[in-house]
Amino acid sequence: MVRVLNFDLDTETEGSSALVRIRGDLDLQVVDQLTDALSAIESDNPELLVIDLSRLSFLDSSGMAAIAASHIRAVDVGRRFAIVRPPAGVRQAFDRTRLNEVLTITDDLASIYP
């Protein structure tokens, strides 16, 4: 039986800023893809890292941990870090875990990304 994963990840850079767009389900099956993409982007030392969650349909604790770890690395090196348009359920998870108190969360990509 072949399982088709509901997940896609795109990255782009513009100047000293990087954008990661995630679509579908961010869970244990695919979190390594996100971690690898974030590591590659972070190795270029962007001044700003933005993660667009507007097309995310599901986030489990492994996905949340990957986002939180990337934020911690950003803080450690003085990189700006932002989350864009998390769906209501994801925003509630950020609220419950109090990540919303340390993450920059915005609904307008144009206001944060070049």
21-74 pLDDT tens trace: 999 999 999 999 999 999 999 999 999 999 999 999 999 999 999 999 999 999
Taking alpha carbons only, the member of 11, 17, 43, 21 closest to residue 112 is 17
Q: How confident is the model at residue 5 (pLDDT cuts 50, 70, 90)?
A: confident
Read off the pTM: 0.95
DSSP 3-state of 42: helix
DSSP 3-state of 57: strand
Domain boundaries, the chain: 13-111
Is domain 13-111 classified as CATH 3.30.750.24? yes
